[in-house]
């Protein structure tokens, strides 16, 4: 079963803060199995104040916004550097199982993203 530790969440949060000191993130663990990152405030114009992202399609979906695309890909790179060990179970119907699940958002459903300098 995928599980994320508080130490891993803290490590991701610190890495994001170091790479993007002016950006406000929400980095939380949900149900001990999911890392949820929301970009809450920055100077990057995403064209939306809330969106749940599919991190597998960032390059395709953000190809017309190079700055946003590169920013989001860097977040994924940081998360993958901290986390992505995959457990492969040959005796399972599920195949590969990540250490934990990862969700990326722009803003939150109840607290929209804020564009700085607009």
pLDDT, tens only, 6-19 = 888 888 899 999 99
User: Pick the residue with more confidence: 34 or 39?
Assistant: 39
For the record, the structure tokens of 95 come out as: 């195949």
Q: How confident is the model at residue 38 (pLDDT cuts 50, 70, 90)?
A: very high
Other beta carbons within 10 angstroms of residue 11's beta carbon come to: 15
Q: Are 52 and 60 in contact (CB under 8 A)?
A: no
| Range 16-37 burial, b when 16+ CB lie within 10 A, else e | beeebeebebebebeeeeebbb
For the record, the structure tokens of 18 come out as: 């170091």
Residue 66 sits at φ, ψ, to 5 deg, of: -60, -40
């Amino acid at each position: 079963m995928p599980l994320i530790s508080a130490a891993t969440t803290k490590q991701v949060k610190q890495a994001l803060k170091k790479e993007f000191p002016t950006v406000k993130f929400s980095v939380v663990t949900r149900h001990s199995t999911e890392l949820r990152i929301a970009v809450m405030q920055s100077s990057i114009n995403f064209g939306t104040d809330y969106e749940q992202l599919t991190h597998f399609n960032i390059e395709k979906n953000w190809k017309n916004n190079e700055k946003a695309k590169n920013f989001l890909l860097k977040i994924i790179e940081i998360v993958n550097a901290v986390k992505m060990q995959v457990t492969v179970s040959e005796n399972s119907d599920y195949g590969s199982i990540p250490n934990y699940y990862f969700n990326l958002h722009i803003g939150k459903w109840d607290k929209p993203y804020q564009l700085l300098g607009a």
